Amino acid sequence: MATQPKSNARKSARSEGRASAKASPEQRGKRAQNVARKSASTAAQRPKATQKSLSDLLEHGLKDMYYAEKKIYRALPKMIRKADHPELKRALEEHRAETEGQIQSLETVFELLGKRARGEKCEAIDGILEEGESLLEDFGDSVASDAAIIFSCQAVEHYEITRYGSLRAFAEELGLEEIRDHIDAILAQEKAADGKLNELAEGSINDAASEYDTEEESALA
């Protein structure tokens, strides 16, 4: 078995030798030209495939966020309707109004880039919002309803914070100061919204949601 590859190699070397021996100088020249043409076209394709750069990533991320903001804007009314705590309701309403402004802000950013504002389906935000929907179904009628709404909304805010944080850095790197400032303003709103949700959760909402747990604990004591 060990000799098989060797003999095959010898065979193919012999046949190659025969082929090149039989080929006329003209044919050999043609073959060389073909190889050169083929490798030149591969080389031309290679840079094309790797031409994507930070500005493309910025544009891709902006499309993702444009899609995300629109979806968040449409998802918030259900959360607002279900929210019980008046301050939570107000915070979500305010953030929905901010979200509308963020959508417009992103449109301005696209304009500054000379591109048409266009969203790109983002499975990450789809997943986060779907989870929020199912949490509302599971907890919507329980004492933990508001805590569950905050739980979902903070996942959205953190997603937005991480994405806008990266996009801001990309714009900064590319020297796109006006765009960086727009992203910065959005990022500040997302951080403030997250902070407000934290405040509400830790202030009273988590405590209210644990009421039943506390009763159970007392019953066990």
- Count of residues binding Fe ion (CB under 5 A)? 5
Q: By CB under 5 A, which span of 4-12, 56-64, 117-125, 186-194 interacts with Fe ion?
A: 186-194
Binding characters for Fe ion, 81-100, by CB under 5 A (x = yes): ------------------x-
Distance in Å from the first CA to the final CA of the chain: 77
Closer residue to Fe ion (CB): 59 or 160: 160
Q: Which residues contact 115 (CB under 8 A, 6 or more apart)?
A: 59
> Interface with Fe ion by CB under 5 A: which range of 38-46, 61-69, 165-173, 196-204?
61-69
Of residues 131 and 208, the one with the C-beta less far from Fe ion: 131
Residue 212's Cβ-count burial label (10 Å; 0-12, 13-18, 19+) is exposed
102 binds Fe ion (CB under 5 A): yes
Helices marked H in the chain: 3-22, 25-50, 54-82, 86-113, 123-139, 145-173, 177-200, 206-209, 211-220
Q: Which residues contact 204 (CB under 8 A, 6 or more apart)?
A: 85
- Per CB under 5 A, contacts with Fe ion among 149-178 are 160
64 is a contact residue toward Fe ion (CB under 5 A): no
Complex with Fe ion: residue 94 or 143, whichever CB lies closer: 94
The stretch near Fe ion (CB under 5 A) out of 46-54, 67-75, 80-88, 177-185 is: 67-75
Minimum CB distance to Fe ion, residue 176 (Å)? 20
Nearer Cβ to Fe ion, position 10 or 121? 121
Own/partner pairs, 91-96, CB within 8 angstroms, 24+ separation: 91/193, 91/196, 91/197, 91/200, 92/149, 92/153, 95/189, 95/193
CB of 137 to Fe ion, least distance (A): 22
What the block records as the tokens of 88 is 């939570």
Instruction: Report whether 187 contacts 168 (CB < 8 A).
Output: yes
Stretch that binds Fe ion, among 18-26, 49-57, 84-92, 185-193 (CB under 5 A): 185-193
CA-to-CA distance for 196 and 123, rounded, in angstroms? Answer: 26
Residue from 88, 182, 190, 201 that binds Fe ion (CB under 5 A)? 190
- For residue 194, state whether it binds Fe ion (rule: CB under 5 A): no
- Nearest approach in angstroms of CB 95 to Fe ion is 6
Query: CA 54, CA 62: separation in Å to the nearest integer?
Result: 12
Which residues contribute to the site for Fe ion (CB under 5 A)? 69, 99, 102, 160, 190
